[in-house]
Amino acid sequence: VSISDLHSNKVKINSSVIIKGWVRHNRSSKSGISFIDMYDGSCFHTIQIIARNILVNYYQEIIKLTVGCSIVVYGKLIESLGRNQVYEINAKKIQIVGLVKDASNYPMSSKNHTIKHLRKHSHLRPRTNFIGSISRIRNGLFHALHKFLFDREYYWISTPIITGLNSEGGGEMFRVSTLDFSNVPKNNFSNVNFEHDFFGRESFLSVSGQLSLEAYACSLSKVYSFGPIFRAENSNTSRHLSEFWMLEVETAFSNLNDLIVLSESMLQYSVNFILEKCSVDLEFLKKTLDLNIISRLQEFSKRKFIVIEYKEAISILKKSNEFPNKSIFLNMNLLLEHERYLVEKHFNFPIIIINYPRSLKAFYMKLNKDNETVAAMDLLVPKIGEILGGSEREEELKNLDERFSEFSLKKDSYWWYRDLRKYGTVPHAGFGLGFERFLSYITGVKNVKDVSPFPRTIKNFNI
Ligand code: 4AD
Ligand code: MG
């Protein structure tokens, strides 16, 4: 059985059980009893094992068990006499599976480690309470988002990871192909080992699945993609990863207002799900990381998001006197410090900013009637800033072509994307949610590197 089964009353008192897991803590008393706290990751809780010196390997093995050793325990579930736990296991036999060799140098010994120390050991840090909790909440959040969309008949589309096209129109792609093919005569690859360079085609890792997703939205109506995304941004900050997960949702016959309603209900649903299903892990984070975590999440899950125009945001920043006078002006890009002022000091709650200047946003966003702004939205939260961004998509071929020239993009490269506008075009809209940023907001973990199992950034690529 799992330790989670033991704590959820699935196993009757006095039943014989077999538990497989690892030692969190071992204390041996002079009277010949060892108290072993054991975990198996199935839930936050450990279970206490009572081992007496009548066990054959008591003196040779059991009292020497240190944190991290793997064991199989055969015993009986009993009610605990101690004050710290309801149940414990009276051990009949303890089989040692793997000892921790050189225990004094074990990087995950029971001390409280700094988050930086843990980050250096991405392969061992899952053994800590902290990363255990984050991993279970991460899993819960995946499930909640999929479930929310599944229940509303959104279909999950797998969009390509290797691509020839820049979906965002920017320059932030990692190359798959590295060979310089300009010197190779056309179609004559006989002397080049080109298989490892995607067969000689210029190719990249995807920065967004959106354009492919639009192809499916224009037939299945309600679709989403959820997968790894790669950005070659030279930003070493607490909110940037080179590899992260993005949920992108795309809906035909929908507009900016629908996007706001959909994203609000999706995020609130997910937070409610986590509050319900991951309550023990949240309690642990409350004790160790963020005293307000539960009330913060409860408020998030109930209160309507605040929606303001980009122009209003600029005038609030101007009036605030927090920033040098000339640093705030119309059409400027909002920096993290501006976003944080708005959400943390002015509104003190997540906000959605809509209708950004056209020059600040991607080519596919639909122009508003004013011809100056686009029908876009960004959701900003305290500490992290933007966690979700979306827009209406330009559905008229003529307007889209004008946007390609405005951004100096070759429209021929986007030939299939243009086809979607040629054949039965419809107004449609969608958004992308940065999964690690949302998770970081939910858990109160300051750096996205600590909610990603094996973070990849400019500086982090040791494991
Ligand atoms: O704002 P972005 O770049 O939007 C898109 O890619 C659109 N195609 C989405 C869409 O409309 N379908 O990225 C979306 C979200 C951001 O709001 C942010 O939360 C997250 O992805 N994100 C990152 N998260 C971690 N590390 C990075 N380097 C990120 N870049 C973006
Ligand atoms: Mg964005």
Q: Is the dihedral of CA 305, 208, 175, 414 positive or negative?
A: negative
Atom of ligand 1 nearest to the CA of 231: 28
CA of 436 relative to ligand 2 center, distance in Å = 14
Judge whether 192 and 200 are in contact, CB under 8 Å.
yes
Quote the ligand 1 centre to 246 CA distance (angstroms): 7
| pLDDT at residue 378 in the model | 98
Give the separation between CA 90 and CA 272, rounded to whole angstroms.
Answer: 38
In the structure, which protein residues have their CB atom closer than 6 angstroms to any atom of ligand 1?
Answer: 167-168, 208, 210, 231, 233, 240-241, 244, 246, 248, 386-390, 430-432, 434, 436-437, 448
Nearest CA to ligand 1 atom 6: 208
Closest atom of ligand 1 relative to the 391 alpha carbon: 11
Span from the CA of 308 to the centroid of ligand 1 (angstroms): 20
- Tokens 């997960």 correspond to 245
pLDDT at position 192 is 66
The number of the ligand 1 atom at minimal distance from the alpha carbon of 448 is 25
Q: How close is the Cα of 433 to the center of ligand 1, in Å?
A: 6
Per residue of the chain (463 residues), what is the pLDDT tens digit? Answer: 999 999 988 999 999 999 999 999 999 999 999 999 999 999 999 999 999 999 999 999 999 999 999 999 999 999 998 888 889 999 999 999 999 999 999 999 877 889 999 999 999 999 999 999 999 999 999 999 999 999 999 999 999 999 998 888 887 999 998 766 666 666 666 666 677 788 878 899 999 999 999 999 999 999 999 999 999 998 889 999 999 999 999 999 999 999 999 999 999 999 999 999 999 999 999 999 999 999 999 999 999 999 999 999 999 999 999 999 899 999 999 999 999 999 999 999 999 999 999 999 999 999 999 999 999 999 999 999 999 999 999 999 999 999 999 999 999 999 999 999 999 999 999 999 999 999 999 999 999 999 999 999 988 888 8
pLDDT score at 193: 67
What per-residue string of b and e applies to 169-200 under the rule 16 or more CB within 10 Å gives b?
beeebeebbebeeeeeeeeebeeeebeebbee
**CA-CA distance, 52 to 34, in Å (whole number)?**
6
Q: Whose CA is nearest to atom 5 of ligand 1?
A: 432
**CA torsion through residues 453, 454, 456, 462, sign:** positive
**Residue 183 pLDDT:** 66
Q: What is the pLDDT of residue 185?
A: 66
pLDDT score at 181: 60
Backbone φ and ψ for 77, nearest 5 degrees, come out as: -80, 125
Q: How many CB atoms lie within 10 A of CB 53?
A: 14
Q: Which ligand is nearest to the CA of 243?
A: 1
Give the number of other Cβ atoms within 10 Å of residue 329's Cβ.
10
Residue position matching structure tokens 């959040």? 141
Report strand pairing: 385-393 vs 428-434: antiparallel
- Of 1.20.1250.20, 3.40.50.300, 3.50.50.60, 2.40.50.140, the CATH number of 3-111 is 2.40.50.140
Q: Which of 165, 431, 437, 449 to mutate to test ligand 1, by most ligand atoms within 8 A of the CB atom? A: 437
User: Measured from the CA of 438, which atom of ligand 1 is nearest?
Assistant: 19
The tokens describing 33, both together, are: 């009893």
CATH number of 127-172+207-450: 3.30.930.10
Q: Where are the domains of the chain?
A: 3-111, 127-172+207-450
